[in-house]
Copies of this chain bind each other. A is one copy, B any other.
């Protein structure tokens, strides 16, 4: 099952399945049917079964899926052995809120470094994470083996920051700045802009 790449959207849902399942077992449950898992996410049971088929796990006819097993399989797919390390670049409002959000969560990933160019912010600790000057970024990313970076600097700075990250050998970039980035094909890029999404909502609200 493992070496073929899964569809983008399936991977997103796997992450959501896992979270829902963690709550589900924490509440003392053991087995779950596709239609139950589906209703936790407000999607269809077929979608659930298809995703689970794609990862090669199979449930049983009378009990459905073993929640713990499913959690483990998803972990094998998404996580790496030691948990991938993440850096946040730009410790403004957004960067800090993301750091606070992720630090508390039970996910194998961990934010291990933050970077900023404002000297008031460097050499301090935010949500338990040390903030370094951005000049040390390449050095620390290599030293710590950081593979993923979140960009939350102002748009004007984002291109330069991304170039540095690529140079440092980063493999995945999550860009929150409104500036579209261009990275080599061996770097996975995810962009997200809140205003774009709000404007999309605005459009569809008009149409409703």
- CB of A192 within 8 Å of the partner chain: yes
Q: Is the CB of B199 within 8 A of A109?
A: yes
Cβ 8 A contact of A204, one of B86, B92, B172, B197: B172
Interface size on A, residues (CB 8 A): 63
A67 to chain B, nearest CB (A): 17
Copy number of this protein in the oligomer? 2
Q: Is the CB of B12 within 8 A of A109?
A: no
Q: Is the CB of B42 within 8 A of A180?
A: yes
Q: Is the CB of A198 within 8 A of B93?
A: no
- Chain B residue numbers with a CB within 8 Å of A167 are none
- Chain B residue numbers with a CB within 8 Å of A20 are 180
9 contacts between A and B (CB under 8 A): A5-B204, A15-B199, A19-B178, A41-B180, A78-B203, A84-B205, A101-B195, A172-B205, A188-B204
**Closest CB pairs A-B (n = 5):** A93-B97, A172-B201, A15-B199, A172-B205, A171-B205
